[in-house]
């Protein structure tokens, strides 16, 4: 967790953490977890602000490589929450250890951005004044395209993995947390231990690999799990701020 910093132009204070239904349909009080979804309250995020968010790029390489993978999940999240999330062509050079301007999500494409093999990371910021998602950074590991050791022999499954990872990190920046839980009662919460549909699909926010593994649905927030979490993020804004 990095220290908060003041964005003077916007007169707001934000902090960076190495991390909706209509109000009429929502509960009487904010809700932060449900079956297969969890809001990242430990990262300071409790809601999704109704003002628009924009996905931008750390450099031209990131835009060229990753823009096609973000159009679908951004559009789905916009539809589910009612909050406009636009995939732009804009370059923003805010370093990954600082918060970008308000409601920008900066996408990076680099080799082992976390220092670990095969690991990407969402680094969301939050607005201290109201606990809403501010924006932040998505660090996507280039190894998903350059290292055969991370993939199966099936090219379609390889691309499904890429879709799901990128959508997963977008979910973090919008305020969703990992949803792993101790399902077998052994006292340990393990990687991949998450609720699933009858056909075995886990929430895309399951760590390390949730979502659909077929190329048709890959990169989609799952309707029974992730979508209710996104809806609640948007609903919580009105429940917390009136």
Choose among 14, 34, 58: nearest CA to 5. 14
Chain centroid to Cα 105, Å, comes to: 10
Q: Evaluate if residue 3 carries a pLDDT over 90.
A: no
Q: 166-201, pLDDT tens digit by residue?
A: 999 999 999 999 999 999 999 999 999 999 999 999
Domains of the chain: 5-20+32-237 (3.40.390.10)
Cα-Cα-Cα-Cα dihedral sign, residues 62, 67, 68, 73: positive
pTM of the entire predicted model: 0.90
């Amino acid at each position: 967790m990095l220290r908060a910093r003041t964005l003077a132009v916007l007169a707001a204070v934000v902090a960076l953490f190495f991390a909706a239904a209509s109000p009429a349909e929502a509960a009487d009080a904010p809700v932060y977890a449900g079956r297969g979804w969890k809001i990242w309250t430990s990262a300071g995020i409790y809601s999704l602000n109704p003002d628009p968010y924009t996905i931008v790029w750390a450099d031209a390489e990131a835009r060229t490589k990753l823009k096609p993978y973000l159009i679908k999940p951004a559009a789905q999240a916009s539809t589910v929450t009612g909050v406009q999330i636009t995939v732009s062509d804009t370059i923003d050079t805010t370093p990954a250890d600082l918060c970008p301007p308000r409601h920008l999500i900066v996408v990076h494409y680099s080799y082992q951005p976390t220092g670990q093999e095969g690991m990407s990371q969402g680094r969301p910021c939050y607005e201290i004044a109201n606990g809403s998602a501010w924006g932040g950074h998505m660090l996507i590991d280039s190894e998903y395209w350059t290292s055969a050791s991370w993939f199966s022999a099936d090219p379609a499954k390889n691309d499904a993995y890429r879709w799901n990872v990128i959508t997963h990190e977008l979910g973090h920046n919008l305020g969703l947390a990992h949803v792993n839980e101790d399902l077998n009662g052994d006292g340990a919460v393990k990687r991949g231990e998450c609720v699933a549909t009858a056909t075995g699909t886990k929430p895309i926010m399951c760590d390390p690999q949730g979502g659909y593994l077929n190329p048709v649905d890959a990169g989609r927030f799952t309707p029974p799990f992730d979508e209710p979490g996104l809806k609640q993020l948007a609903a919580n804004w009105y429940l917390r701020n009136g």
